[in-house]
Amino acid sequence: MKVTVLGCGASWGVPAIGPDWGRCDPTDPRNRRRRCSLLVESRGRAILIDTSPDLREQLIDARTSRIDAVLLTHAHADHLHGIDDLRMISQLAGHAIPFYGSGPALEEAQRRFGYAFRPVAPDKPVYRPALEAREIDGPFMAAGLAVVPFTQSHGFSETLGFRLGPVAYSTDVVELDDAAFDALAGIELWVVDCLRREPHPTHANLAKVLGWIGRVRPARAVLTH
């Protein structure tokens, strides 16, 4: 299994428009960070987690034009608003791409980007649906991989974390319950939210994440967002 962090920046990216680098050193090219997306490849198939506003350049840099399934953690703009770039992926594949999310997240995605899911002109072969909405209501199979979803608190809303075999992805999370920790048991790689050192109302901070890592004990943890 190959895991590529396509983007790990906060909602404005790094640098933010200004440019605002925050505490990041602008002379270090590693500090130029795009918005959050993750690519998981296994046995010739590819799963994309989230469609960041930077998705086009992310996929070009990753040298991939094939996505077999998309998982949506939640419908905030920095995780969803690159969805239009999947039209080209669908066109290259010749069919609609399965797009998985919670009921509320799918409803919001379809409200904002209805043309991606429904024919604009049913009687004409233009703007055919690029995506096929599939609601998550428990563990499921996507592109031949078993996916275990778990609910996460994002402060004022909920997000989904995902486990795919030995890999787990937990972005935009400030609290995890026991069910989430049960889902994370035995993972080897955990890509997990850590927005900053100081506490934040909707994202985990460094001290909290280090405590989580000590509890889960993955072979490797990668901090994102």
Report CA-CA distances (Å) from 194 to 150, 203, 209. 18, 7, 7
Residue 131 confidence (pLDDT): 98
Asked, as a colleague might, if the bond just before 15 is cis with ω within 30 of 0, I would say yes
Each residue's pLDDT tens digit, 118-170? 987 777 767 789 999 999 999 999 999 999 999 999 999 999 999 999 999 99
What domains can you pick out in the chain, each with its CATH number?
2-224 (3.60.15.10)
CB 179 within 8 A of CB 152: no
Question: What are the tokens at 216?
Answer: 């889960």
Predicted structure pTM score: 0.95
Residue 176 confidence (pLDDT): 98
Each residue's pLDDT tens digit, 2-29? 999 999 999 999 999 999 999 899 999 9
Residue 225 confidence (pLDDT): 85
pLDDT at 114 over 80: yes
